[in-house]
Amino acid sequence: MALLANPAVIGLLVFFAFLAMNVPVFVSIGLAGLMAFVVFEIAPLSVIPYVFSGSLDSFPLLATPLFIIAGNFITRTGIATRLVRLAELILGPVPGGLALTVLVTGAVLGSMSGSNIATVAALSFLVQPMVDRGYDRGFAVAVVAAGCTFGVVIPPSIGFIIYGVITESSIPKLFAAGIGPGLTMLLLLGGYTLYVSKKRGYRGADLEERNWATLFAAFKDAFWGLMAPVIILGGIYSGVFTATEAAAVAVIYLFVIDRLVYKQISFAQLPDVIFDSGRTIGVIVLIIATSAVYGWVMQTQGLASMLNSFILDLSGGNAILILLFFNIVLLVAGAFLEPIAAMYLLVPLFKPTLEAIGFDLVHFGAVLTVNLSMAHLTPPVGVGLFLASQLGKVPFATAARFAIPFVLCEIVAILLVTYVKPIAMFLPSLLG
């Protein structure tokens, strides 16, 4: 009963009530936090501005808007088209070659932009070519939506940056922890796509001009785009610059190669690029700040310690059961919440229990990020799936039905990343 009477718990119920009324996430969570101050008088209202502004006073967090701007540059420079051409030439006549091309390109493009939505927008043009080659339109849309889920897993990742800020974990180690899980997801989703393609007779690409000369030409055309993650990650792990500085380097690099090589964005279009990025940045900043206020309520009202005691008593301290429970909570939360809001709400609650069972926070960052990557694929929110269905001209319900096997593949990936430690932690262990 004490738990149910906690102002933080009541605030959580208020938050979900507002969500059910289609109130925006940042407004819902902001009102939930404000209610705790006004109704329960847990602290003076003057505390809110300090928490609100303090949550954004973080140098690592500055990487988030910069990577969003970089992602917008990527979608407008034609890099996606060049990567698709290269991947299609490599995969060639493999059954389901075009669908596999979407997944592989999504992995590379996601690692460059750090954004699921940007990846969906960049790859949605492949839905019609897949339909023209005999693919079910619903399957084609689901493949594009599934390809977008790599954006928050393979580094550089906005999700890892925010998680690192929340837990004060090493962002370079978190980036390294995302490589193994990202490749695991690619293998599982690619394996299912190959199986379905063989079963349904989805043919590979008919590329009569496929030879070493065309392959080299495609690689040369995509080279400068492929160099972006190499420069970003290489600079971070060599110690040349931090993750935040890497984001700034990414923006400058993409701007320079577009001006000198691709020449797709005119100076007159730059304000539009910044404006589009600003809208996304504004929403994220508001979610972070309002979530921080509610997080302060949870901390001061002892919700994390109460939940920690409850879970440890219920599970008997069994790490396997605790991690399974956390994954179920994340899976459900991801179906209704934006990943950033879910992180700010759940990570402070989970952290005491993870520390009590000795589970590495970097490892859990990989688990959480893989789990929440499905938020863009699972209804009822499923922003990535919704966008893909709109751009691919398929009813959302149809796209969701075709997406179910991809969701199951990602659940397998979550369990593997959770319980097979080297998948996530082998590379971070090399960093010392």
Q: How does pLDDT run across 253-273, given as a tens digit for each residue?
A: 989 998 888 888 888 888 888
Residue 145 contacts residue 403 (beta carbons within 8 Å): yes
Quote the tokens at residue 244.
């935040």
pLDDT at 26: 84
> Side chain identity at 74, as an amino acid letter?
I
SS3 state at 393: coil
Q: For the chain, how big is the Rg over CA atoms in Å?
A: 22
State the average pLDDT over residues 77-87: 81
Whole-structure pTM value: 0.86
Residue 50 contacts residue 235 (beta carbons within 8 Å): no
pLDDT at 359: 95
Give a yes or no: residue 101 inside a domain.
Answer: yes
Give a yes or no: residue 173 inside a domain.
Answer: yes
Give a yes or no: residue 322 inside a domain.
Answer: yes
Give a yes or no: residue 206 inside a domain.
Answer: yes
Q: Using the predicted structure, report yes or no on whether residue 214 has a pLDDT greater than 90.
A: no
Q: What angle do CA 274, 294, 302 make, to 5 degrees?
A: 150
Give a yes or no: residue 16 inside a domain.
Answer: no
Give a yes or no: residue 46 inside a domain.
Answer: no
Give a yes or no: residue 230 inside a domain.
Answer: yes
Give a yes or no: residue 31 inside a domain.
Answer: no
State the average pLDDT over residues 307-332: 89
Please state, rounded to an integer, the average pLDDT across all residues of the chain: 85
Its domain, for residue 166, covers 59-430
pLDDT at 208: 58
Q: Using the predicted structure, report yes or no on whether residue 91 has a pLDDT greater than 70.
A: yes
- CA dist 15 and 25 (Å) reads 8
Q: Using the predicted structure, report yes or no on whether residue 1 has a pLDDT greater than 60.
A: no
Q: How many domains does the chain have?
A: 1
> Side chain identity at 92, as an amino acid letter?
G
What digits encode the pLDDT tens for the residues 9-60? 888 888 888 888 888 878 888 898 888 898 888 889 889 998 888 888 877 7
> Side chain identity at 401, as an amino acid letter?
R
Q: What is the pLDDT confidence band of residue 67, given thresholds at 50, 70 and 90? A: confident
Cα–Cα nearest to 329, from 291, 359, 367: 367
What digits encode the pLDDT tens for the residues 153-192? 888 888 888 899 889 899 999 999 999 999 999 999 999 9
Q: Is the model more confident about 232 or about 139?
A: 139
Q: Is the model more confident about 337 or about 131?
A: 131
pLDDT at 432: 67
Q: Using the predicted structure, report yes or no on whether residue 113 has a pLDDT greater than 60.
A: yes
- CA dist 198 and 193 (Å) reads 9
